[in-house]
Structure 1
Amino acid sequence: MDYQTILSKRVQQVKPSGIRKFFDIANEMEGVISLGVGEPDFKTPFAIRAEGIRTLERGKTWYSANAGLMELRTEICRYLERRFGLSYEPKSDVFVTVGGSEAIDLCLRALVDPGEEVLIPEPSFVCYTPLVEMIGGVPVPIETKAENQFRLTKEELLEKVTDKTKVLVLPYPNNPTGGVMRKEHLEEIAEVLRERNIMVLSDEIYAELTYNGKHVSIASIEGMKERTVVVNGFSKAYAMTGWRLGYAAGPAPVIKQMVKIHQFAIMCAPTTSQYAAVEALRNGDESIEKMATEYNMRRRLIVNEFNRLGLPTFEPEGAFYIFPCIKSTGLTSEEFCEKLLFSQKVAVVPGTAFGNSGEGFIRVSYSYSVNHILEAVERIRKFLETL
């Protein structure tokens, strides 16, 4: 069987995730300390777990509606109003997905036809470009800069907009840089978009992990709600990564088409996870605050430690990553990560996994205990001494 001719050429041309390469190596080595995984080290809060268990014990294991439990969609709308001042109708404007990643995929598939362009600020999470490529769209990277704390500027956006531009991905708070877009920055972006027929895919999965102020959604900016699909979920804020639950909120005509794709591809999100998510939204605000406070402490610690190592690190204002500059070592991002892994058994991620503009940087996660972080920092110090 000639699989090269059988397999989709479009899929074969998509590059695998640059993150997984290092994790696969690290998983086969003993004694590795990882600062690479973007996953909370907290357990899902007890009350949320208990609610999931109760629904299983009661046999509540049937399909939900394609768009998700109405009870959950109602709570999502209440949450978005309470936390971010966003108003949506649960029947038409919101639906539940298998993680935020599915919501991103469905949004792009519902909006983009082959040959149309999707603007993607980089560095950014690894999924956007491959998903655009797999539907025949054209990913257009926008290089953001460290001197702007990796925010997207109005000028950078205008340079890339063409008559083929269909969607702008707005991935803030940002993975991998920790950069955020404040209200004044979003208003400048909105000035450009309100004049054009361009939709925004606003990936706000780290919204609750915003430091030095509250997260602001571009959907809350005047004239932007009708041209924005907000993607969020439960993985980061509630430490529910394995529950695989996310959602999208946006204009009813767009959500309707996203649900149609979801209907044929997935049917519905896991009902046990949905019932647990209802509990999270109703009674989980205190847990959010506790975890965010801990991350904030780790954030200050790790930024200070990396700057002491001589690896310049701007202080991120969101998510749970830092993006240190390693240009002073004379190594490429990939060389740095490989040498560090094999010499000191510390796993971090090369900045190039998040786009070419990530060259000269590494992503380091602080979703780990303080002792874990300090041990990794000590090993990195020893590695730098060998250079």
Structure 2
Amino acid sequence: MAPDAVAAGKRRISQRCQNEIAAGGANKVWQEVSALARQAGVIDLGQGYPDFEGSAVARQSAIAALQEKDKALLNQYSPIPGLPALSSEIAAIYKRLWGQELDPQQEVLVTSSATEGVYACMQAFLDPGDECVFFEPHFPWYPTSTRMASGVPKAITLSKDNDFRIQEDVLDAALSSGKAKVLIINSPHNPTGHVMDQEEMDIVARQAKKHDVIVIADDAYEGQVFTGHKGHIKLAQMEGMWERTVTLGTASKMFSLTGWRVGWVTGPQELISALRIVHAYSTFCAPTPLQYGVAEALKAEDGSFDNTPERMAETAKMLCDALTELGLPVTTPRGGYFIVADLSSTGLTDMQFIKALIQAARVACTPMSVFYTSSDAPNNLVRFAICKNRQTIVDAIQRLNATGLEAILAKAAAHA
């Protein structure tokens, strides 16, 4: 392309988008890793999407909305805050499983995924220069969504040696700049599988109140705690936290429907009203037939979530055992979709290992470096997805065992 055409293109693009394009960052790595994982015959344990059927109730109900004549209006716009039936069922399940009282008309917003919920929160809560504080490793959309709202992302690094637990003195220091406006927590945690306990939640509550920040509780994996839903603590229910907390949820993880892009945000009316403005002028509404399907699934949900927590606890143990046997120490998860393996003993970076693993064993995983913002991020950790059919995990383990670590290292050396 001619230089003058490039210059003209840049003039048409906002500076903040130019900055993200130039940085590349996680998006660039994601594209590279995804392309490698899509090669024929590769078992993809990189990206966090199930390879089994999602909620049958949700799928059958959505089909009915699409096909049945008396449900024709379910194929048109829903109200901006969401389909009333879905808002009501979100409130109902939070009451049923976690004892939380919500007004579905004022304290619930249905979004086009929890990812939109993150974006809407940044747009609604941040002014230029405000800091959004979060823990790394982190969901890669946190810092970019912050910058797109002209905010300043600020990462607190969690230590693998401390089991990725929150330390109060570190959090206190990070919130003491006078610029912190928003704090994000994520439990169960993507990518480590850590589930925050009461002690950690108490730390977050104390520091949030001390520094007067809004907390985004990213509860995307709230239905995937291996010990059951009662093992998940709702920050918004703790003393003094309701008025400053918004909670994100999603059908993607609760019902294994990552392609549906139906999520929600709950919180006090004041904060939800602001989020509704952003939502109205971005996506307007999530797909109505899919909202209906999710509403019906929530209505039928008893807290077992189609036994996916138990299934993932099993696949997590299987893969943790296999990777340990291979010579790669792992962090044992307590929930969520993933496990983390340590490559320190191999001397390889995450990308070197991933490329060699795909070539040698035809198994893909994800570099943990994409989940860090800090310049000194570790590059010796990888993430494996456990949200797969048991047979998929069995097949991957068989390939790992048949290949062995020495062959993977040899493949890496051959391409050094």
Question: Per the shorter chain, which TM-score range?
Answer: over 0.9
2:405 is the counterpart of 1:384: yes
CA RMSD, 1 decimal: 1.6
Output the amino acid matched with 1:5.
Answer: R
Distance 1:10 1:266 in 2: 21
3-state SS of the aligned residue for 1:150?
Answer: coil
2:225 is the counterpart of 1:210: yes
Q: CA deviation at 1:287?
A: 5.7
3-state SS of the aligned residue for 2:184?
Answer: strand
2:133 is the counterpart of 1:119: yes
- 1:240 corresponds in structure 2 to 257
1:95 and 1:247 in contact (8 A); partners too: yes
2:226 and 2:312 in contact (8 A); partners too: no
Percentage identity across paired residues of the two chains: 32
Distance 2:258 2:304 in 1: 15
1:234 and 1:240 in contact (8 A); partners too: yes
Distance 2:193 2:378 in 1: 13
2:115 is the counterpart of 1:133: no
Output the amino acid matched with 1:281.
Answer: L
100-109 vs 350-359, greater mean Cα deviation: 350-359
3-state SS of the aligned residue for 2:341?
Answer: coil
2:220 and 2:249 in contact (8 A); partners too: yes
2:45 is the counterpart of 1:35: yes
Distance 1:41 1:30 in 2: 16
Output the amino acid matched with 2:383.
Answer: R
Deviations 1:106-155 (A, max 9, x none): 01110011111111100011111111111111100100011222122212
2:374 is the counterpart of 1:360: no
1:321 and 1:365 in contact (8 A); partners too: yes
TM-score norm. by structure 1 comes to 0.95
Q: CA deviation at 1:206?
A: 0.3
Matched residue count:
386
- 1:9 corresponds in structure 2 to 15
1:316-327 matched pairs, under 5 angstroms: 316-327=333-344
1:54-133 matched pairs, under 5 angstroms: 54-57=64-67, 58=69, 59-60=72-73, 61-133=75-147
Distance 1:99 1:43 in 2: 19
Q: CA deviation at 1:19?
A: 2.6
Distance 2:165 2:271 in 1: 27
Distance 1:43 1:372 in 2: 14
Deviations 1:282-307 (A, max 9, x none): 10336604222211111111111111
2:338 and 2:386 in contact (8 A); partners too: yes
Q: CA deviation at 1:353?
A: 1.0
- 1:177 corresponds in structure 2 to 192
Distance 2:98 2:303 in 1: 16
3-state SS of the aligned residue for 1:195?
Answer: helix
2:379 is the counterpart of 1:373: no
1:40 and 1:236 in contact (8 A); partners too: no
> Where does the alignment leave 5 or more consecutive residues of structure 2 unmatched?
410-416
Output the amino acid matched with 1:185.
Answer: E
Output the amino acid matched with 2:405.
Answer: L
Give the direction of change, closer, same or farther, for the CA distance of 1:173–1:133 in structure 2 (3 Å limit): same
TM-score norm. by structure 2 comes to 0.89
Distance 1:90 1:334 in 2: 45
Deviations 1:325-378 (A, max 9, x none): 111110111221122223332211011011154521100001122332233234
Q: Which has the larger radius of gyration?
A: 2
Output the amino acid matched with 1:385.
Answer: E
3-state SS of the aligned residue for 1:151?
Answer: coil
2:43 is the counterpart of 1:23: no
- 2:412 corresponds in structure 1 to none
Output the amino acid matched with 1:26.
Answer: A
2:263 is the counterpart of 1:253: no
Distance 2:182 2:302 in 1: 32
Q: CA deviation at 1:383?
A: 5.1
2:59 is the counterpart of 1:49: yes
Q: CA deviation at 1:9?
A: 2.3
Distance 2:256 2:339 in 1: 19
